[in-house]
């Protein structure tokens, strides 16, 4: 005993790093996240969040549904389920896609996932070999980059403007790649109220994207967590609704329209693709949380979601308006921003000589936080942008936050 203990003390602590896989060694925590963690506990107005507002959670209805589920559906809710998901929920989602989005679901299969995040990881597993070319928007959703990067793709960035991904630039790149004997495997897009940029891809571009997919033979991942949260402007068809070759995998989620705590999302796509994704999911978690699926089924099937969405919109729209008003009022010349018709974010572009990552500490000292834009670029090659969230704090805080942010920027001009 004593001998063992002495040996242990002599050899020192384990060399933890030496046990990790090469892939794990490549995973890094973001410094920004660490800095933003500090913000949560101080008086800083945080426009950095990415969270829905808890005041939009439908607590009263959920109380009733939970009671119903535990008394009437415990056999399903407390049991293992199938990997593809609880069938009544899958059917209710199919109906939703047909009714609201004109997606013809007869040729589409649906698998429930542990949030869209799992769908992104499964798509990486099933479609991406190291070196495969994946096209992303610039900027794009950070968590998608994190999920895909594990599978070591080569990224191509396509710039965005107020009408979403510039598909003319994409076409140019595709032609060039083809001439070099290269091929794009997958295009990832958040076409509606994009995270982080807030912009929406115009209908013409959606059609163009579908044409390009057909001509250059790639698949499209349409990530659509915000589509229901429209505060102004006219609806645009889903990319999936324009897809008659089965090239689009459509990702939906309950996170922004019910609650992210349920961790419930879905993939709708060609049955052949879904079958492989299902096999991939089996080894990850066997099945998605069955209890949540039964609750979500009662919520959707009972018409509660349809009735609740207008309330979320009513709650968020004044905040969006407050942010755009405040930007107009306080921002100095040379600062540009997007004007989202829905979703949760505004994207701000500073004059090129201001580094938004470096500016964050100064902003926090002035009492406001944001997410620097750098991490939202696959190539991390743009430094003068930032993402602002308008769903978490109230209108007065938004105004004060933007005022403080404008003061910070003015100091650096």
CA 185 to each of CA 2, 143, 177, 220, 273: distance values in angstroms, whole numbers, following the listed order:
60, 19, 12, 9, 14
| Residue 199 C-beta: closest distance to ligand PLP, Å | 13
Residue among 69 and 264 whose Cβ is closer to ligand PLP: 264
Residue among 141 and 151 whose Cβ is closer to ligand PLP: 141
Which part of the chain contacts ligand PLP (CB under 6 A), choosing from 150-158, 254-262, 290-298, 369-377?
A: 254-262
The rounded distance, in Å, linking the Cα atoms of 121 and 118 is 5
| Helix axes of 59-72 and 304-330: crossing angle, nearest 10 degrees | 150
| Residue 145 C-beta: closest distance to ligand PLP, Å | 11
Q: Which of 46, 56, 83, 253 binds ligand PLP (CB under 6 A)?
A: 253
Our finding on whether 137 is near ligand PLP (CB under 6 A) is no
Which part of the chain contacts ligand PLP (CB under 6 A), choosing from 84-92, 109-117, 308-316, 329-337?
A: 109-117
Structure-token match 């921002």, residue found:
331
Name which of residues 189 to 208 contact ligand PLP (CB under 6 A): 190, 195
Our finding on whether 265 is near ligand PLP (CB under 6 A) is yes
Which part of the chain contacts ligand PLP (CB under 6 A), choosing from 129-137, 164-172, 255-263, 385-393?
A: 255-263
What CA dihedral angle connects 390, 394, 396 and 397, to 10 degrees? -70
Question: Which residue, among 238, 170, 240, has the nearest Cα to 200 in the 3D structure?
Answer: 238
Among left, alpha and beta (phi > 0; psi -120 to 50; other), residue 187 is beta
Cis peptide before 196 (omega within 30 of 0): yes
The rounded distance, in Å, linking the Cα atoms of 95 and 260 is 22
Q: Which of 222, 223, 228, 399 binds ligand PLP (CB under 6 A)?
A: 223
Question: Which residue, among 295, 213, 305, 298, has the nearest Cα to 262 in the 3D structure?
Answer: 295
| Residue 262 C-beta: closest distance to ligand PLP, Å | 9
Cis peptide before 139 (omega within 30 of 0): yes
Q: Which of 49, 81, 124, 225 binds ligand PLP (CB under 6 A)?
A: 225
Site string for ligand PLP, 171-190 (x = CB under 6 A): -------------------x
Name which of residues 138 to 167 contact ligand PLP (CB under 6 A): 141
Interacting residues with ligand PLP (CB under 6 A): 115-117, 141, 190, 195, 223, 225, 253, 255-256, 260, 265
């Amino acid at each position: 005993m004593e001998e063992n203990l002495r040996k242990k003390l002599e050899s020192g602590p384990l060399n933890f790093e030496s046990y990790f896989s090469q892939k794990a060694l490549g995973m890094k925590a973001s410094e920004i996240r660490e800095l933003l963690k500090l913000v949560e506990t101080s008086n800083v107005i945080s426009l950095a969040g990415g969270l829905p507002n808890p005041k939009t959670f439908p607590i009263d209805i959920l109380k009733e549904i939970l009671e119903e589920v535990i008394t009437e559906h415990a056999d399903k809710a407390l049991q293992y389920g199938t990997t593809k998901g609880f069938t009544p929920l899958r059917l209710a989602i199919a109906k939703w896609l047909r009714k609201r989005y004109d997606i013809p679901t007869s040729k589409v299969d649906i698998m429930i996932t542990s949030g869209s995040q799992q769908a992104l990881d499964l798509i990486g597993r099933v479609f991406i070999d190291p070196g495969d070319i994946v096209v992303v928007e610039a900027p794009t959703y950070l968590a998608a980059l994190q999920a895909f990067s594990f599978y070591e793709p080569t990224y191509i960035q396509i710039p965005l403007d107020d009408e979403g991904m510039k598909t003319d630039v994409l076409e140019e790149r595709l032609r060039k790649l083809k001439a070099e004997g290269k091929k794009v495997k997958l295009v990832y897009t958040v076409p509606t109220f994009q995270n982080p940029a807030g912009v929406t891809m115009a209908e013409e571009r959606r059609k163009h994207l579908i044409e390009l997919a057909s001509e250059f033979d790639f698949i499209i991942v349409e990530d659509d967590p915000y589509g229901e949260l429209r505060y102004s402007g006219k609806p645009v068809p889903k990319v999936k609704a324009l897809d008659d070759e089965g090239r689009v995998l459509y990702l939906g989620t309950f996170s922004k329209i019910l609650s992210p705590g349920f961790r419930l999302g879905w993939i709708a796509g060609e049955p052949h693709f879904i079958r492989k994704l299902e096999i991939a999911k089996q080894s990850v978690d066997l099945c998605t949380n069955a209890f949540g699926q039964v609750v979500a089924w009662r919520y959707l099937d009972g018409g509660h979601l349809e009735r609740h969405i207008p309330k979320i919109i009513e709650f968020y729209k004044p905040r969006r308006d407050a942010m755009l008003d405040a930007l107009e009022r306080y921002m100095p010349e040379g600062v540009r921003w997007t004007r989202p018709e829905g979703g949760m974010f505004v994207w701000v572009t500073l004059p090129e000589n201001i580094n938004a990552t470096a500016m964050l500490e100064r902003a926090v000292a002035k009492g406001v936080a944001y997410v620097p834009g750098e991490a939202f670029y696959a190539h991390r090659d743009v430094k003068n942008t930032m993402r602002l969230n308008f769903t978490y704090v109230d209108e007065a805080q938004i105004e004060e936050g933007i005022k403080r942010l404008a003061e910070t920027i003015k100091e650096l001009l």
